[in-house]
Amino acid sequence: MKELFGPLTKEKIRELRCGQEIAYTGILYTARDQAHKRLTEMLEQKKALPFPLKNQLLYYCGPTPAAPGKVIGACGPTTSGRMDEFTPALLAEGLLGAIGKGERSAEVIKAFMRYQSVYFVTYAGCGALLAQHVKKKRLVCFNDLGAEAVFALEVERFPLITAIDTKGGNIYD
């Protein structure tokens, strides 16, 4: 398993290969459907985003509330295809990668290649296990969305699999 540490760079991302298992330590920003919609609307309106996309990873996740004494509740991935209509615009802003589950559209695969970004998957149905890798959680924006708000997660050895690399290698092919 390859250790990958944030902050990320294009150089680090270009080294990753399809199917490669990763243990990521750094920051992830959670974002689901409604957060993606708002972020792309802000970009279309030329408004400043509430957090930087450049060199960041988005995790398609809506974490559940934390139990007493815990940092976070379950935080498993959601289906990535629902974010496909928004993904190219976010990659164009410098996003280096996304984390979710499932296949991506042909247009999004081309966008990952064009912008030299990567798509990771993580283990579905293992939200409680994944939560053990989250060391800190901070609300970033869109609090009115509840679990779908954007949170910054500080993670340690968060398990990922490189699903689509910068050359278009795809585990679903």
**12-48 pLDDT per residue, tens:** 999 999 999 999 999 999 999 999 999 999 999 999 9
Q: Structure pTM? A: 0.96
How many other C-beta atoms can be found within 10 angstroms of the C-beta atom of residue 99? Answer: 25
Domains of the chain, each with CATH number or no CATH: 2-164 (3.20.130.10)
CA distance 165 to 119: 7
Given a cut of 70, the residues of the chain with pLDDT beneath it are none
CA distance 72 to 52: 23
Active site residues: 36
